[in-house]
Chains A and B, each alone.
Chain A
């Protein structure tokens, strides 16, 4: 569903990484690893079209646009978690049932905070809000930049559960992380240097 060929990304004329090629099939989970400054975030941003300074090519074959979790989680401080989740679905022109939203909120463990403004939430809790659309979304590809950063142990287990469920459904995931994932997920690895 995704083929990347000889992708080289530049930052101020310097190549961050060179000639990266890989492909992703339905149900694959790909972990992009590498040290700080190796271009993990840039690769993610390039794939979703937020970064243009690259050579090489990549092409998609997707029934719907990918769901993206960026470096900044995209949570509006003045809206409640529910309103934020709804906005993410509205952006993708998808309808979401109230029951599904409640379910998502419950899964990320924020049921009690569903109606408080996100400005009252901690960074980790905001990150969980940003993860909530992934619990119920129907997108066939997820692109997640550092999903594990700023998240506690329960949160990490939650994401792993999500990943497992997702790949069983036949969805694919690309995520970046510099740390090893503890559980036994079948994860392909792409090392940037």
Chain B
């Protein structure tokens, strides 16, 4: 367990020294939303309808970018080898990396959401729902991204490849979280969606770290 926390501490230190690792994707996310708005026009009613989904999809895309660099760096500099050689659990390592990655990407994003939301004419209630949705869906997203990122370690043009591999798996979480938004908008019961998103999260939590650690081992052993 200490290894788990030490890995997280090391990741935080790494992100603190290179804020671009998590700030650039945030800026990217904002820009994607901005482009959507430019394309759709400044009509309030229209924007209000799709704002939540824009923000959500933009955040999913931006997370993929940072996930790829998080794992590739370890491989390139050789610290991944050291972790595999040491008798520590790779499962814990990948879990710790995912947790650190989630904290540095999604917490700032959730703080950013109210500002973007106001710009897209969301009311306070919608912003709360959007934050809740992101909070529920983001751990699953991060775990899936870690599988994709670890799979493509050291491969040529892996930035695009991660997207191709992982994006199809984002379909179910996206469907349930949009369901949540719609239910909230229509003042219906949102709990079924919350349960579904939690179920997806627990499934991802059970399976993704093992897949990630298997891929990390393969990458280190090639």
Contact = CB atoms under 8 A, between A and B. Distances in A.
A78 B13 contact: yes
Interface stretch (A1-9, A84-92, A106-114): A84-92
Contact of B77 (A52, A72, A88, A90): A72
Interface in A79-115: 79, 83, 87-88, 90-93
Interface residues of B, number: 23
Interface residues of A, number: 26
A16 to B, nearest CB: 15
Interface in B1-46: 2-3, 6, 10, 13-14, 17-18
Contacts of B6: 87, 90
Contacts of B73: 76-77
Nearest to A68: B85
A50 interface: yes
Contacts of A73: 77-78
B13 A50 contact: no
B76 A72 contact: yes
Given A50-B220, A51-B221, A117-B17, A76 B83 contact: no
Contacts, number: 68
Interface in B98-123: none
Interface in A5-37: none
Given A51-B221, A68-B82, A70-B82, A77 B13 contact: no
A71 interface: yes
Q: Which 4 residue pairs are nearest across A and B when measured between Cβ atoms? A: A72-B78, A74-B78, A78-B17, A91-B86
Contacts of B14: 76, 78-79
B85 to A, nearest CB: 5
User: Chain A CB within 10 Å — which of B6, B10, B14, B79 has the most?
Assistant: B79
